[in-house]
Each structure stands twice: as structure tokens, then as C-alpha cells.
Structure 1
């Protein structure tokens, strides 16, 4: 089953175009890692999927529905997105508990107070505790008082309280120390496998891009180079003996 289809997509903010006649498809349950040089359009690619940026031409189909002209708010019910900047993923003035409760309301008409009754603090704490955060001491604190790493980990939990059809991860570990990044990735990959979530992960870490997921996409020059699972294994083997063609992957040594 195909989850996302791009048909002849053109996106331009001037010259040169970001995407030119882009055609690609993503199967339901795919976990795609995405790399490419700075300015290649990785975040714009997410913006197009999420509806933040509408293409000048072409069509986008999500789960069988043509969403080409749907804006971000209309697609939010089936898409969860984690930005690289932790400040964009949470409401700084609200407490951690209120942020988690707010995330639990996705797709429902209710207030934060109602959600707090549905998700009492002990339930919220049990959700976050496996990530190794002493959440009990944080629930009553404003989100803005937390470190960037703490905010990002909690933001991931918020994005996954209700399993989405599509999960977009834009360098989610960039603000984390190595230990926190490992915990977060273990949580994310376990969740993705458990629920069969169609996922795209943007990363600058080549080794991570080759290790995670079942497909690798390289954005460059307005198009996508696609590597399936078998081709990824070959790239992994080449990396172990130091013969990766970095230019092909869109990087210089």
C-alpha cells in the first residue's frame, strides 16, 4: 500500500528551483532516512508533505486522498512533525504536564483542563519515564525552563501520544547529548516498528542514515536519489572498508 505519492512536483522560491518535476512514492510503513547537502531542500520537502508549502505544480496524494491544495491545518490529523529546534515543538509558557495534555487532544474538541483529567500526572509520568527523564520533578515546570534536550525528548512523546499515519523527524537529536540522543532514537525506532508508522528522518549523520530505516533518500539538485534496503546494505558494507562514494551521497569528504 502506498502512503505518499508525489507527481511532477515543482517548488520554487526563485532561481534555482528547489524541486523540479519531482516524482516519487513512499509505501505505508517505510522508514526513510534522508540526507543531502545544506540547501538541498530537505526541510522544504517536509513542508510540502505537511502542507506548509504548496507546490507551484504537480500533485500530492496521502493515503489515497489528493491533498495538493490542502493547507497545514487540514493535514495535521494524520501527520506528526518534530522540528530540529526544540522551541518550535512545544509551548514554552505552559507546563510540561499541560503540553503533554494538549498533545493528547489531537483531533478532539476539548480544553487542556479536560485533558489533564483524562491524562493525570501519574499517567503522563509513566509515558515519559522509559526515556530516562526524572519527569516527576518536571511536570509542574514551564516548558521554557527545561534544557533543549529535555524539551526535545518530551516533544517526541507529544508527537507519538496518538500514533500518526506519517512521522516527520527533522534532525531530532541535533540538540541532544549522545546519551540522550541514543535513548530518544531507541524510543522512536521502537515506536515506529510497533505501530508501523510511515517515517522520514532527516539527518546529517551518514552512519545513522545507513543504519536506521529500510530506505535511504539523497536530495540533491532538485531531485531524489533512492536506495532500497538491499542497496543500503551494500553501502553499509562499503562504509566498513572505507570505500563509500561520498560524492554520490551528496557530501564531500
Structure 2
């Protein structure tokens, strides 16, 4: 028995935090896979490079500005995507921020901002998009967690949010499975992005030396790149992954979790 789903139109995917890094790589990969892609980020102008790259390769894309932690902005963004591209049936909750600090130095604002983007943002986006998936009888949700969910010094807020996303993912799988919707999480390890480069700068480390040091501790002996995560997303949202749901896939160059 095969899955059913819309076959008369191009499927639409939304990638949050799609302006750069893992989000940009994922948006471009999904476009290569045949999806029309809505690239969502806080500032719509920041999505231009990703949108242009997709369109230059012959794909369809739409840049949308929205604070994923704001319910009204999320609703407006999803409605715009549905109107201009079509009903979104794939959602990649990738938007994220860091506000690292040791617990005794962490401010209320540091904590709240990380929860606002990662947890509230993923909740609001998924709640807004799931109605389109349920109506179609087919959908894919992929949430970006992290190996930090296992605990990481100086990241009480980020680790908590990323662990929370794993529980959120498993609950989505239970609630939405009967509607043909799967939900999975990807937990990246060390990925070379602007965010991790900023971390190295914050702690006063040379970037090349920092990458080499991190790579030496990884079984496959290299740091990850955004394409590693994009490839995993591509698989999880594919037709063939329809019997995989509620899972956390650690993409970290070795065993974690």
C-alpha cells in the first residue's frame, strides 16, 4: 500500500531561518528535490540570496518575513504562502538563536528569547501549517534539535529548548500520524555555520583552530556542513520515509543520544 498525497500540483515546503546556514542549504536542497519553497526569516530582505539561488536553478521560491514567535505574523506568513505558492505540506522548523551564558550570568531576556524562537516558534508554525497537511492527508514536519539537548555548558536555555523540541516532535507524531503526517527531529552536532563561527569568536578562539579541534573529537574526523543536515531533511520529507515518525536523528559524525 502506498501513501496518498497531492499529485496534481507541486508540493510546497516552508523552511524557517532560511536566509543562511542550515536553513539556506535546506531550502535549496528541497527546491532541487522539486518542492516550491517558502524561505521564512525575521527580515524578508535577508531571504533574497536564498530565493535568488533557487530561482536561478529553475525552482520556485518565495521570501517571507516573520517573527516565528509572534502568532499574528505566523498566521499571516502561512496564509501568504498558501495563497502565493500553494498549501504548505512540508515544514522545517529551523529558525534559531543563541544567547549563551553560564546559569548565574544568564538573564531573563537570554532565556526568554531562546524559548521564543525555538519552542514557541516551532509550536506556532506547526499549529498554523498542520491544517493544510491534515486536509491533504499528507505532510512532513522536521524540527531542528541539537546534540546540546543532551546538555552543554553555558547553554541552559538552548539545551532546554532543543530537548523540548524532541518531546514536541514525538507528540506531533502521535497526534498527526493518522492524518498521513510524520514528524521527526534532527539533532546536528558541530556544523560549520555563521552561528558556530560567532561562538568561536565569543570565546576568543581562532576559527580554523577551533574547527580542527572539534573535528579531532568527531569519529568521522571532520566538522559537519549545512549540506549534511539538508540531505537528512531531504530524506525525512521524502515519500519513502513515510514509516519513520517521532524519531530523533543525531547527525553528528558519530553516535550520540
Instruction: Give the TM-score, by structure 1 length.
Output: 0.35
Select the structure with the greater relative contact order (CA < 8 A; seq sep ≥ 6). Answer: 1
Higher Cα Rg, which structure: 1
Q: Which has the higher helix share?
A: 2
Q: Which has the higher strand share?
A: 1
Instruction: Give the TM-score, by structure 2 length.
Output: 0.34
